[in-house]
Chain A
């Protein structure tokens, strides 16, 4: 895996009185830090808003990485066959993380959940679950309400 950072996108979403929406996008060089890109957005948005009578309703800083030399996908891979990890949050809700085209290597081969459950004892699976529940370098993954994931609830395969 050799990921290369591309230009960063600054996106402003406008909405008019009909409810129609459109995005205005500006690019920044990949050398601009994420924090600086966020500062740029804050300074740039009012300048663009001053030109428009539609309203800015949301904005994004999107930092892109791509793998220009990515290996081919596995022969039987199917991105609609996903590994679903249900995670308990700090507020006793359940959130989810998904892995597209989960490899068969991680699916239980025996027991009542054979062919369905993900083997949460395998090292690569443990590494992901640990990162999701304990965080990485002090950064804790969370659900859409910013509630931290604290433990794995269930892990299984799903076909979409």
Chain B
């Protein structure tokens, strides 16, 4: 697997008008720009755009995009078969991650629970709970993930290519 940067980083600004409608606009910089410089650039360009608008700036995102340019999915893969990992963050409010098309070989004989003793699963859970490269995954509220509560297969719908559903 080799994920490579797309040609550009994107700064995407979202505005909301007085009817509640939202629209986004984006400015791109070459992906050769360092991440730190892209952050600095984003913080500088957004106020210049907002100064021309009479809608309100809701916020903005800096997106560093990667693409896999050589991939293939095995015949039986189904992204609707999620590997659902229920994690406990430090603040106790559960958070979860769904891995699309969980390998059947990682399931327990009941074809539902994920075998947490399998090496690949253990590596993943360790990365999520103990961190990876000294970086600790967190819940959406920013609380560090510290433990795994459960892991099982769950079927959820997904969309065809070009229309994506978040896991």
Please list the residues of chain A having a beta carbon within 8 angstroms of any beta carbon in chain B: 1, 3, 6-7, 11, 13-30, 32-67, 70-80, 82-83, 97-104, 106, 124-125, 127-128, 131-132, 135-146, 148, 160
Nearest to B7 among chain A residues (CB) is A146
Distance of B158 from chain A, by nearest CB (Å): 4
Query: Are the CB atoms of B37 and A20 closer together than 8 Å?
Result: no
Question: Could you say which residues of chain B place their CB within 8 Å of the CB of A78?
Answer: 17, 19, 21, 55
| Alpha-carbon distance A135/B30, docked complex (angstroms) | 12
CA distance A18 to B165 in the complex (A): 15
- Chain B, interface SS category: mixed
B65 near A76 (CB under 8 angstroms)? no
A52–B83 CB distance below 8 A: yes
Interface, chain B (partner A; CB < 8 A): 1, 3, 7-8, 15-19, 21-25, 27-68, 71-80, 82-83, 95, 97-104, 106, 120-121, 123-124, 127-128, 132-133, 135-142, 144, 158-167
Contact B55 A100 (CB under 8 A): yes
Say how far B22's CB is from chain A's closest CB, in angstroms: 6
One of B27, B80, B159 near A97 (C-beta < 8 A): B27
Among B104, B123, B135: residue with most chain A CB under 10 A: B135
Say whether, besides A38-B64, A53-B76, A65-B60, A102 and B52 are in contact (CB < 8 Å): yes
Q: What are 9 sample pairs from A and B whose C-beta atoms fall under 8 A apart?
A: A7-B139, A17-B73, A33-B35, A40-B135, A64-B60, A67-B58, A76-B18, A79-B16, A100-B23
The residue that B78 contacts in the complex, of A18, A25, A103, with Cβ under 8 A, is A18
The chain B residue sitting closest to A102, CB to CB, is: B52
With A17-B77, A55-B72: A127-B48 Cβ-Cβ less than 8 Å: yes
Contacts of B3 in A (CB 8 A): 41-42, 45, 56, 58-59
Whole-angstrom distance between the Cβ of B157 and the nearest chain A Cβ: 9
